[in-house]
Each structure stands twice: as C-alpha cells, then as structure tokens.
Structure 1
Amino acid sequence: MTAFHSFLKLPMQFRCMLFAAFVFNLGFYMLIPFLAGYLTDNLMLSASLVGVVLGVRSFCQQGLFLIGGLLADRLGHKQPIVIGCLLRALGFSLFLFSDNIYLLFSAALLTGFAGALFTPAAQAYFATQQVLTRAQMFSLVGIARNAGELIGPLCGVLLLAVSFELLCVIAALPFALFALIFLKLLKSDKSTLPQKTSDSHNPSHQSGGILTNVLSNKRFVMFSLVMSGYFMLINQISFAIPLYLTQQAYTHEHIAWVMILCAVIAIFLQFPVTKLCEKYLTPRHWISIGIALMGVAFAALIPNFTALNQLLFWLALGVLSVVFTLGTLVSFPFILSQISELANNQSVATHYGFFYLFAGCGLIAGSSLVGTAFDFAHINTNLAWYCLIVIGLFTAFLNFVLLSAPNETESEQAITHSIIK
C-alpha cells in the first residue's frame, strides 16, 4: 500500500489536517526565508533589528509550545488548530505593513504563536486516528512537511518577483480558508485529561494537574531530554552544510541542490521505509539507528576531496545527503509516535508541547556548537564534523541504553505487525 492509498484511506478530517501541515510549511518557507532580505534591502532596516524580529518569531513558537499543548488538552484539539490558522493568516497579512515597526513585531509574534498553538494540537490529533499505525501516520506528516519545505521557496521566488505584498497575501489566504474548514469539519472533543480531583473545576488546578502529569512521566522527560540530540543534528543540512559550502566559495544554487535532494528523497521514500521498519526490530532500535546514521553521515566530508577532485567532493556530499536523510526517515516517525505512546493517552498535546521545548533547546544548542566549531576550524578543519558524529552516536547510545523499555512486550509488537499486514 502506497502513501497515496494510505492517505485516501484516512477520514476526511485527517486528510485535511495533512494538507494543512503541508500548507503550514509551504507558507513558512514561501515567506520567512525572504523576509530578512526584504526588510534590510527594501525597507533599509538594520540587521540587528531584523535579527530581533526573527528572534521574537522563533521564541513565540518554540517558547510557547507548552502553552499551546496545555490549551489543546484543556479546550480540545479544535480550538487551538482553528485559532492557530487564523493567527497565522493575520500575522502573514500584517507583514504587508512591515514599514510600521509595531505592526512588524506584532506580525512576528502572531506567526510564532500560531505555530505554538497549531503544532501540539495537530500532533495530538494525528495520534488519535485509528486507520494506520501511528508511525505510518507521522510518516505522512513528514511527507507533507517536506513537500511544503521543497515547494515553498520556489513559490516565494516567483511571487516575490511580482511583489512582496502579493507574497504576503497568497501566504495568508490558505490559513484563513483552513480556519473556516476546520471550524466546520473538526469535532469539539477534548483531549484526555489527568484524573480529576475534588477541585478540578478550578482552571488553574486543571492546568497544574496536566503539568504534574507530564513532569511525573519520568520516561517521557528522559526521552525528551535525549531527543534534544536529534534536534541538534536535524537542522545541520540547512545550517552547517550551507556554512561549509559558502566557505568553500560555492553559490546558493549549490546549497539548494543539497536541500532539494534531501527533500525529494524524504517525500518519495518516507512511507515505504517506515512500513519496512515496522516489520523488523522496535521503535527504540530504529530511533537509535536513525540518529546514529544522521551523525555518521558527516564523516563523508572529513576527507579533503575539494583539494583532490570536484567530482569526488560532490559525490561525498551526495552520500552525506542520502545517509543523513535515511537516518531521518527511519527515526522521525517513531520519535513522534513514541511521544503519544509514552503519554499513555493522558494530556497528549501537552506532552508534545513539552517535547518541543527540548527540541527548541536542541536546535539552538546544535547551531551554537557547530558555529563555534567553525570558528575554531584553525585547530582542526573537521572539528564541526567530529562534533556532529559524536552527538549522533552518543544520542543513539543514550536512547538505546537509558530508554530500554521494560514494557516493550512481544504482544505490542504483534499488534503493530497485525495492523500493517
């Protein structure tokens, strides 16, 4: 069964949610990568001010994921998803008035908070479907996101050639449309809450109970902490590789080639790879194998092929892209499915929100570490690659050893196998 056939088997609301996940990434990569250039080149804003604006957007998303998860568990999936779409539409529209500093910051804040509302609720909602295994469901989510990441910049370039205003409007419109669709299509259900106490009618106590439920889940907290290593690696195709190629005097077209190759592989192979992995070993094994592959992939750049032969250099870069992407293919769906498994169907959205806090810390730590390694390249030109290899292997080791599941029974594996046959 192909990804497309699996997509068609899903109920309408899940198909719309997958399309919304695609549009969320499409809109983001259509507008945000070009925002800094427009603000500095066209509006003549300082680089430091633009950095603060983009930092506000990132903080409002990464820093408020937990709030979004709490709201989804308190109110149900529908409200945060609908409000998230509306806020993203409003935020993108406000970028039309970027010459007003207050509206510019408002746009950055709203677009970030929209992601913080939408993502945990959407992930928890995806985990509720009953047609596919959770890993297969999240593999479809990965395909949708990668497709948006691939097509978004191309659409952005074409629209920006007409006008920045048109780009903002086109990026905003689908979110307003999805808000109306989900308002009608999604049911007003509530996520499973922690067991109610005598004072559970108090909203603050309900929120406190949800947080207590999450923080007392030691296996989940440990899993989130260990997976920050995964997020230290995941961003390096769009950070370390462009930085390295720029230092080697390559152009943006060369950088785009690497990112396109990774996205195309992920789009076409994600679902069949996930189905194959489900037939063998356990999620814990595949998460460790995948993260190890992501780290080891950077060993392809340790030999100095640039000084020897350009063909060998690009072959090594191709090997890196393939191995790194394969690592994400075998780990990503199982990481997301494990979150809902570890949540035991209690406060699932808050678990996702909490997990993404560690993801944000991992992204920042990974970029900072690699940037520092490049600054100290005079000590060893391969210092950044050694760091990434160690991160991958160490994270894989921690996941396999510290998170060996005592409740990972043969019956659970048999259930999974019976679903996919």
Structure 2
Amino acid sequence: MTPAAPTLPAATRTTPYLRLLIATQFAFNIGFYAVLPYLATHLGTGLGMAGWLVGLVLGLRTFSQQGLFVVGGALTDRYGPRPVVLVGCALRIAGFGWLALAGSTATVIGAVVLIGFAAALFSPAVESETARESVRYERDTGTPRAQVLAVFSAAGQAGAFIGPLLGSLLLLLGAGFRAACLAGALVFAGVLAGHARLMPRRAPVTRTAESRGSVREVFGNRPFLVLCLAYSSYLIAYNQLYLSLPAEVERATGAQTALGWLFALSSLLVVCAQLPLTRWAAHRLAPRTALVTGLGTVAAGFAAVPLTPGGPAGLLPGATLVVLLTLGQMLLVPAARGLVPELVDDRRLGLATGALSSVSGLAVLGGSAATGALLQAPGPVRWAALAAVPLAGAALALGLPVGRNGKRERCDGVEVGVETPPIPPGGRTP
C-alpha cells in the first residue's frame, strides 16, 4: 500500500534544530515580503524618486544580497553559523528601522544595502545548516534529505505568501510604509531572540592557509561548477516571472492587473504541492534525475506559451507557464540543494551554498539583458529562445553524479554520492 503524502505538520516532526531552521525561513520571508513589494511605490510615490533611481536602488539591494552570499557562506565556515545568523538578524533590524526613517536618496541607499547585506550573512548560514542537518537526519532515520529541504522551501513560500498580506493590511489600515518596515524589524527581533536562545554554539575554526585555499577548492571543483551553471539556467528562467510574464499578461489582457493572481497561484502551488511531490520524487528519482526533469518541465512551460489557446481573458498561456515553471522549481530546487553536500567537503558547505547563489545571481544579472532584448522578438522566437535556456541547463546536469543516500564514490577527485535503488511503493517509509 502506497503511503500517503505527509501534511506540513507531519513532515516537520524532525529534530528541534531542523524545526528552528524551518521556522526561521518562514519568519524570514514574512518579515522580508511585508516590506519589499511596496518599496518601489514608496520610493517613487512617497519620496518622489525618478524611475531610473528606483531601479538603481532595487538593483543595489539585489546585488548587496545575492552577489555577497559567498561572503556570508565563507564567514559561516570560518566562525560557525550562530554568530553569522545573529549579526545578520541585528543588521536586518537596523536596516528596516533605518528604511522606515530614511527620507533622502543617500539614506535610502544605505538602508537597502544594509538590508541586503544582512540577508547575505543570514541566508547562507541558515541554508547551509539546513543542508548539513538534512544529511545528518537522512543518515540517522533514512528520510531523504530532499524531503526535509522541501519542507524548508515550502515554509519559505508560505512566508512569502503571508508577508505581502501583512504589509497590505498595514497599508489598508492607514499605518503606512513606515509601519510595514517596523513590523518587519519586529519579526526579525523575534528571530534574533529565538536563535540567541536555541541555536547551538560551535567552536570557531582556526585555519589560515587552509582557509585561504577554500575558495580555490570550491571554485576548482568541476562538478560543483556544473551544478552552479545548471542552477543558473533555472534562475534565469525563473526571473522571467518578473520580465516576460508581465509582458505576456499585458499583451493578452491589456493590463497587468491579473499578474498578482498568477503570483499567488505560484505560491499556493508550492505551499500545497511541494511536500507530496518531493516525497514522491525522493523515493523514485535520483537527485540528478529530479534536477534534469525539473529543468525540462520549466522549458516545457516556455514552449507551451505560443501553443496554448488564449482561454478565459487570455490568461491561459501565462497560467500554463506559471504552473509548469513552478512544478519544475519544486522538483529541481530540493534536488540541487541536496546535491551540494555530495559535491563539496562538509567544511566548505557554507561557502559552497553562498557560491551557488552568487554565481547564479551574476548569471541572472548578465542573462537579464539578453532575455530583455527578446521582448521585441516575435512571440514564437522569444519563447523558443527562453525554453532553450533551461534545456541547456538540463544537458549540463546530465554530466553530474546521480547523487543519492548511502554509497559514495570518487568523481574528479571529489567524493560524491551514487544512486541506490529507490524505495518501491509499499516499501519502507521514513
């Protein structure tokens, strides 16, 4: 008898430390998304900034976060996750408080850079600890690590869904953008207090030459770089939710009013389907297979847009893209994160986790200009070119080790996982 997919509460009955990390991701996104969706309007309408300056401020926030993940990861490896998380929380509280009071261009830029850098410290520490603990939990209980990482992703999406609602509620009540910033700061104050009390201490690592060689070791790891490139193709594709999807919605309906509903559809899909889908995939697909299948599903979403009839209000092509892209994301993200501990030394896990995000962020920065130019191309050409990006990533991913629990082998000098038979329906369950 095939076991039923777990509910979110059942799936989170892991270890207290993993529950802390999962709850952290949930709270992190509530605080972040209570503010971010309303930042551009506040800068343009509230502070009267020109459009180009609003774009510059938002770009600086993204760069100070995504581009500096590798710094947070390296600091996590050097000092352990606890101090990095605590400092990141404190800086995020200060950044939100500063943004609430900022009234000039210089102070706004300082606040958003501080907010971004705080996440560059906080997120790699939490994500690398989650990956490390999921491997340990897999070894102790037999529960596939992808299942734990899926709970982590679903918790983040739930926070991303609730956060904008909190911000909207505050704005509707007349509290304004400043109140949303202070609410975000309050959320992070709670996260800071929880980690100060519950996060275990780890002795600092005192390495000199070894620390200096860690960057060369990670970036000289060919399988890991292949994973970074494959993952980058996904993020370039995912970025089209903010670039090509709005253009498609406006083309189909004459306005972007329905865009929010499509974003809500994406978040709800992850919250509702991430756990059962990952549990199914973890028992039947090797991580490499899940990664390749996910990228292929994302590519199918782009290819389907010119082939899907307009449907009600012309939104069916856009909705098809959102559904397939989200399904692909749910397959490939836990698989990619689960492969990182297979490809790098455990002592370099923080650096590698940060590098995965930083390399992908730089690829998105470069790829956005190219994909933006496609907006002027004929529809079939544009969507075919966009589909080719994740397909190229899938082809690259075929060169990765399959990755799995248990057995290990050497690949290009790096110890990696090899596939063990999946658990059949009706077989052992965690």
Instruction: Answer yes or no: same fold by TM over 0.5.
Output: yes
Query: Quick one: distance in 1 between partners of 2:314 and 2:352?
Result: 42
The alpha-carbon deviation at position 21 of structure 1 amounts to: 0.8
User: Which residue does 2:348 correspond to in 1?
Assistant: 347
Distance 1:93 1:226, change over 3 A: same
Task: Please state whether the residue corresponding to 1:275 is helix, strand or coil.
Answer: helix
Pairing 1:28–2:32 present: yes
Pairing 1:158–2:169 present: yes
The alpha-carbon deviation at position 278 of structure 1 amounts to: 1.5
Equivalenced residues, count: 404
User: Which residue does 1:303 correspond to in 2?
Assistant: 307
Query: Quick one: distance in 1 between partners of 2:130 and 2:327?
Result: 23
Query: Quick one: distance in 2 between partners of 1:262 and 1:330?
Result: 14
Distance 1:8 1:150, change over 3 A: closer
Counterpart mapping for 1:8-47 below 5 A: 8-47=12-51
Aligned amino acid, residue 328 of structure 1? Q
Query: Quick one: distance in 1 between partners of 2:295 and 2:167?
Result: 32
The alpha-carbon deviation at position 154 of structure 1 amounts to: 2.1
CA contact 1:374–1:383 (8 Å) conserved in 2: no
Query: Quick one: distance in 1 between partners of 2:340 and 2:245?
Result: 29
Counterpart mapping for 1:305-344 below 5 A: 305-306=309-310, 310-311=311-312, 313-344=314-345
Over residues 376-421 of structure 1, what are the superposed CA-to-partner deviations in whole Å (9 max), with x where a residue is unaligned? Answer: x2xx22332111211122211121146567555344867xx99854
Correspondent of 2:394 among 393, 396, 399 = 396
Pairing 1:409–2:422 present: no
> Over the residues paired in the alignment, what is the CA RMSD in angstroms?
2.4
User: Which residue does 1:180 correspond to in 2?
Assistant: 193
User: Which residue does 2:407 correspond to in 1?
Assistant: none
The alpha-carbon deviation at position 304 of structure 1 amounts to: 7.3
Pairing 1:99–2:99 present: no
Over residues 200-249 of structure 1, what are the superposed CA-to-partner deviations in whole Å (9 max), with x where a residue is unaligned? Answer: 654xx343132132123221122212321111112222332112212334
Counterpart mapping for 1:56-205 below 5 A: 56-129=60-133, 130-131=136-137, 132-161=143-172, 162=174, 163-189=176-202, 201-202=207-208, 205=209
The alpha-carbon deviation at position 97 of structure 1 amounts to: 1.9
Task: Please state whether the residue corresponding to 1:248 is helix, strand or coil.
Answer: helix
Distance 1:4 1:353, change over 3 A: same
Aligned amino acid, residue 142 of structure 1? S
Aligned amino acid, residue 365 of structure 2? I
Distance 1:186 1:363, change over 3 A: same
The alpha-carbon deviation at position 368 of structure 1 amounts to: 2.2
Over residues 241-270 of structure 1, what are the superposed CA-to-partner deviations in whole Å (9 max), with x where a residue is unaligned? Answer: 112212334444311121111111111111
CA contact 2:227–2:336 (8 Å) conserved in 1: no
Query: Quick one: distance in 2 between partners of 1:174 and 1:106?
Result: 21
Task: Please state whether the residue corresponding to 1:35 is helix, strand or coil.
Answer: helix
User: Which residue does 1:196 correspond to in 2?
Assistant: none
CA contact 1:7–1:15 (8 Å) conserved in 2: no
Aligned amino acid, residue 270 of structure 2? A
Aligned amino acid, residue 35 of structure 1? L
The alpha-carbon deviation at position 7 of structure 1 amounts to: 4.3
Over residues 80-132 of structure 1, what are the superposed CA-to-partner deviations in whole Å (9 max), with x where a residue is unaligned? Answer: 11111111111111111221333212211111101110111111110232334
Distance 1:403 1:240, change over 3 A: farther
Aligned amino acid, residue 395 of structure 1? G
Correspondent of 1:290 among 287, 294, 305 = 294
Of stretches 42-51 and 390-399 in structure 1, the one that deviates more from structure 2 is 42-51
Query: Quick one: distance in 2 between partners of 1:190 and 1:294?
Result: 42
Task: Please state whether the residue corresponding to 2:34 is helix, strand or coil.
Answer: helix
Aligned amino acid, residue 139 of structure 1? A
Query: Quick one: distance in 2 between partners of 1:207 and 1:247?
Result: 52
Counterpart mapping for 1:169-248 below 5 A: 169-189=182-202, 201-202=207-208, 205-248=209-252
Aligned amino acid, residue 182 of structure 1? H
Distance 1:114 1:7, change over 3 A: farther
Query: Quick one: distance in 1 between partners of 2:130 and 2:266?
Result: 24
Query: Quick one: distance in 2 between partners of 1:9 and 1:123?
Result: 19
Q: Which runs of 5+ in 2 are unaligned?
A: 138-142, 404-410
TM-score, normalised relative to structure 1:
0.89
Aligned amino acid, residue 134 of structure 1? R
Task: Please state whether the residue corresponding to 1:128 is helix, strand or coil.
Answer: helix
Query: Quick one: distance in 2 between partners of 1:390 and 1:7?
Result: 35
Q: Which runs of 5+ in 1 are unaligned?
A: 194-199
Query: Quick one: distance in 2 between partners of 1:176 and 1:418?
Result: 44
TM-score, normalised relative to structure 2:
0.87
Query: Quick one: distance in 2 between partners of 1:320 and 1:374?
Result: 16
Q: Percent identity?
A: 28
Query: Quick one: distance in 1 between partners of 2:9 and 2:171?
Result: 35
Distance 1:412 1:338, change over 3 A: farther
The alpha-carbon deviation at position 53 of structure 1 amounts to: 1.8
CA contact 2:288–2:400 (8 Å) conserved in 1: no
Query: Quick one: distance in 1 between partners of 2:112 and 2:289?
Result: 39
Aligned amino acid, residue 288 of structure 1? V
CA contact 1:25–1:145 (8 Å) conserved in 2: yes
Aligned amino acid, residue 301 of structure 2? A
Query: Quick one: distance in 2 between partners of 1:208 and 1:342?
Result: 19
Query: Quick one: distance in 2 between partners of 1:419 and 1:69?
Result: 36
Distance 1:320 1:188, change over 3 A: same
CA contact 2:27–2:191 (8 Å) conserved in 1: no
